Amino acid sequence: MGIVKFIVGKALLPLLMVAALVAPTVAKELNIAVVISTTGKYAFVGTPLKDGIDMALAERAKAGIFGNNTINVIFQDNASEKDEAISLINRMGARKDILMIIGPIATSEAMATGPVAVDHKITMFTTATSPKALDAGPWIFKVTGIADNYMAVMGEYAVDTLKVKKCFSVTIRDNEGYIIQKNAFVNYLNDHGSGVVADESILSSDTDFTAMATKIVNANPDCLFLSTPPEQGANIIIQAKQAGLSSDVILIGNTGMASVNYLKAGGSAVNGTYLPTEFLPTGVHADAKAFIDRYKAAHGEEPKLWAAVGYTMGLVAAAAISNAGDDPTRDSIRRAMLRIKDLSVPLGFGRFTIGADRIPNFGASVLVIRDGDWISVD
Amino acid sequence: MLAQQILNGLVVGGVYSLFALGFSLVFGIHKILNLAHGAVLMTGAFIGLYSVLLGLPLPVAMILAILGGGLVSVFIEFTAFRPLRNTGESEFGAIISSIGANLIIISIAQKISNTEILRFPFETFPIVIFQIAGIRVSLLQMFMAVMALALMAALMYYLMRTRHGRQVRAVAGNERAAVLLGVNPNIIYFQTFFISGALAGASGVLIGLAFGSIHFMMGEPFLLAAFAICILGGMGSIVGAMVAGLLFGMIQTLSVAYLPTGLTDAIIYSTIFVILIVRPNGLFGKAAAGVLRSQR
C-alpha cells in the first residue's frame, strides 16, 4: 500500500500534471463584432474601413498570433443610421460570446452607442473624431488622433511658413468630426495673429457650390481652408477656380483629404494643396509602404486613408486579443487595449500607442501636392 | 456680385425646374408621388458617365442618359405602380413601393460604383469662360440653360400641341372618360413615366457635368427639392414647376451668397412656407391638384 501511495503521489501525479500542461488546448472561436456603415452617407468610410479590418485580422491570424484559436468577425451594417447603430451595439453587446466591438464610424454614432457598450461592459473601438466619444466610460477607445494635435501641426505651418493672414473657411456642418477639425485650425489661426474672413458651412450631400464659389472669390482671401471629404473639397476648389479664384490663394485641407480620391476628383486644380496627414498615400515609412504594396496586390488599387485606419484597427484589436491571455475576456481585452504601445501601423509615424486617457498617439505631418504627387514638407 | 449670383441662381434653378417637371408631370396626371424619381436622376448621371468613360462622345452619352432615364422610369411604373393600380390601392401603396424601388436602384448603383464619388473626366466639357458686362459666364452654364429651356419647350409643345399630349391631358382630367373615348391609359402611363424619367436623366447628366459629383445618393437632395418645388409651384402644374424651380434656385443661391450658409435650408423652406400661407395651392395651383385638368 505504501509503495502504491508512493507511485501515485510521487511519480504518477507529477506526470499527469505535466501531461495536462503540455496537452494541446481546445481551440476557441474568438468573436469580434464590427458595426460600421457600408451603406448610406458614411459608406465611403465604412467600405474601405471593412477592407482594412479584414486584411489586418486575416494577416495576423495567418501569422499565428491567435495560437490555436480562430478569429470570427461578425460584420453588421448600421446604414449610417444612429438608431441602427444603437440597436446593433446593443445586440452585439448582449451576446456574451462577442469579445469586443469595432465601430461605429461617426462621433454622433459613437456618443449615442458608447453608453450601451459601457452597460454591456464590452470594448468599443471607434473611428469617432471627437474625444467626447470617450466620456461614456472606460470601455470606449478611439483610433483617430485628437484634432487639436494634428490640426495644430497644420496651423503652425500655415502661420509660420505659409504666412497666411485671412483664410476663407468652408466646413461640413452635419458631421461633428469636420467641425472639430475646422475649429482646431481656425482657433489656431486666431490665437496666432492670423484669422478668417469667412466661416461658411455646407451639407455633406451638397454638390452645387456655384454661389459659394463666387462668394469665396469676392472675399479675396489669401487662403482657402476646407474641412470636407476629399471629393467635395476638390469640387469646391474646381468650382471656385472656374469662378475666378486666383492661383495665388493657398489651399489647405483636413486630414481626410490626403487621399487618392482628392487627386482623382481634383486633378490639376488641387495642385499646391497643403494637408495635415496621418496617412500618406505613398507611405512615409517602411511599414506604411509594405501595407500599401500588400493592399494594392489584394485589391488592385491604392488604399484610401480609411483603409489604412481600418487596417490599424484590425492590428490593434488583434494585438489586444492576443495580449489578453489564453482565455481572453471582455475585461482582459479592455486592459490589454490600455497596454498597446509602439504597435507597428501604417498611420502617422508608424508607432501606435494608447495613452492612459485612451487617446491614441501616432503623429502627423504636413504634405503638399505638387504635380499630382504627395510631398512631405518636413 | 449680385448680377453674378442671379445668373448662378437662374442656371441652377433651370436644372431644378427640369428635374421637378418630371416629378410634377407624374403627379399632375396620375396623382402618384414617385419617390424613386431621385434614383432615376442618379441613373441618368451614371449612364452618361459610363458612356463617356467607354469613349462615347458627350452628345451620345446625353441621349443614352435620357433614354436610360426614361426606360428606368417606365420599369418603375411597370413593377412598382401598375400592380398596385390594378388592385385599386395605389395612393399610399405607391409611395411605399416607390421608396422600395428607390432603395433597390440606389443599392445597385452603390455596388457598381463601390460607394465612390465619381465625376466626368476633366476634358468632357471644355472649360471656356466668357466675361459679359463683368459677369463670368461659362460655356457649360450656357449649355445647361439652353438644354433646360429646350427640353421644357419640347415638353410644353408635346403636351399642348400634339394629339398624344391631348390624350395625356384627357387622362389627367378624367381617366375613365378618356378610356370611354378610346384612350388607352396604359399607353399614357408609359408616355408620362418615360418623359418624366427622360427629364430626370438629362438633369442627372447636367448636374454631373456642372457640379462634378456623381454618387449613388446624389438624387436624394434633388428629390426633396423637387417635392418642395412642386408644392411651391402648385402640385401637378407644369408652368408652376418651371417657375418654382427657378425661384428655388434663386433663393438658394442668394441665401448662400448673402447670408450665413448654415441658414440656407431654413431660409428656403421658410420662404416657401410664407408663400404657401398667401397662396395655399402654390403659385400656379388650383384647389384640386393637377392643373393639367383645367388645360383641356
Cell of A294: 500588400
Å between B124 CA and nearest CA of chain A: 13
Residues in chain B with pLDDT < 50? 289-291, 293-296
Task: Let me know: does A264 contact A352? Beta carbons within 8 Å.
Answer: no
Mutate: best of B137, B213, B253, B254, partner A, most A CBs <10 A: B213
Q: How far is CA A83 from CA A80, A101, A174, B217, in A?
A: 9, 17, 16, 20
Q: For residues A109-123, b (16+ Cβ closer than 10 Å) or e, as one string?
A: bbbbbbbbbbebebb
The A-side interface with B (CB below 8 A) comprises 38-41, 43-44, 46-47, 173, 200-203, 205-212, 214-215, 218, 229, 231-232, 234-235, 238-239, 242-244, 261, 265, 267-268
- B237: helix, strand or coil: coil
Inter-chain CB proximity A235 and B213 less than 8 Å: yes
If contacts are CB pairs under 8 Å, which of residues 134-153 in chain B contact chain A? 136, 138
Contact assignment for B221 to A214 by CB distance below 8 Å: no
Q: How far off is chain B from A357, nearest CA to CA, in Å?
A: 34
What does DSSP assign to residue A285?
S
- Our CA-based measurement puts residue A213 at a distance from the nearest CA of chain B, in whole angstroms, of 9
pLDDT digits (tens, 9 = 90+) for B113-147: 988 889 999 888 888 888 888 888 999 999 999 99
Interface test with B, best of A203, A207, A231, A302 (most B CBs within 10 A): A207
- The answer to whether A29-145+285-363 and A147-277 have equal CATH topology is yes
Judge: B119–A232 Cβ closer than 8 Å, yes or no.
no
User: b/e string for A78-94 if b means 16 or more Cβ within 10 A?
Assistant: bbbbbebbbbbbeebbe
Pairing of strands A29-36, A70-77: parallel
DSSP one-letter string for A25-47: PPP-EEEEEEEE-SSSTTHHHHH
- Between CA B48 and CA A289 the distance in angstroms is 37
Every domain of chain B and the residues it spans: 2-118+139-289
Are A38 and B207 inside 8 Å of each other by CB? Answer: no
Chain A: closest CA distance from residue B165 (Å) = 34
On whether ipTM exceeds 0.90, the answer is no
For residue A375, the cross-strand partners are A368
pLDDT at residue number B296: 40
Assess B89–A contact: CB distance below 8 Å, yes or no: no
Query: A147-277 domain in CATH 3.40.50.2300?
Result: yes
- C-alpha A195/C-alpha A297 separation (Å) is 45
Q: If you write DSSP's letter for every residue of A60-123 in order, what string do you get? A: HHHTTTTTT-EEEEEEEE-TT-HHHHHHHHHHHHH-TTEEEEE---SHHHHHHHHHHHHHTT-E
Dig out the grid coordinates for B185 from the structure: 391609359
Domain ranges for chain A:
29-145+285-363, 147-277
The helix/strand/coil state of B290 is coil
Strand (E) or helix (H) holding A225? strand A223-227
CA distances from A252 to A158, A168, A234, B122, B134 (A): 8, 10, 11, 22, 29
Q: Hey, is A201 helix, strand or coil?
A: strand
CB contact under 8 Å between A208 and B12, yes or no, is: yes
Question: Domain B2-118+139-289, CATH 1.10.3470 — does that match?
Answer: yes
| Dihedral Cα B23, B28, B31, B37, nearest 10 deg | -10
**Burial class of residue B191 in the structure, from the number of CB atoms within 10 Å of its CB (0-12 exposed, 13-18 middle, 19+ buried):** buried
**Distant-in-sequence contacts of A373-378, Cβ < 8 A, 24+ apart:** A373/A282, A374/A258, A374/A280, A374/A281, A374/A282, A376/A280, A376/A284, A377/A157, A377/A161, A377/A274
Mutate to test the interface with B, among A174, A175, A214, A245 (most CBs of B within 10 A): A214
What CATH number should be reported for the domain whose range is A29-145+285-363?
A: 3.40.50.2300
Q: In chain A, which residues have their Cβ closer than 8 Å to the Cβ of B127?
A: 242
What grid cell was written down for A218?
Answer: 469676392
B130 in reach of chain A (CB within 8 A): no
What is the full per-residue pLDDT of chain A (378 aa) written as tens digits?
455 565 555 555 555 555 544 545 567 899 999 999 998 878 889 999 999 999 999 999 999 999 888 999 999 999 999 999 999 999 999 999 999 999 999 988 999 999 999 999 999 999 998 888 999 999 999 998 888 888 988 999 999 999 999 999 999 998 888 999 999 999 999 999 999 999 999 998 888 899 999 999 999 999 999 999 999 999 999 999 988 899 999 999 998 888 888 998 998 999 999 999 878 766 667 888 899 999 999 998 888 889 999 999 999 999 999 999 888 999 999 999 999 999 999 988 888 999 888 989 887 889 999 988 888 886
Q: By the 8 A CB rule, do A111 and A104 touch? A: no
Whether the CA torsion B78, B83, B89, B92 is positive or negative: it is: negative
**Residue A346 preceded by cis peptide, ω within 30:** no
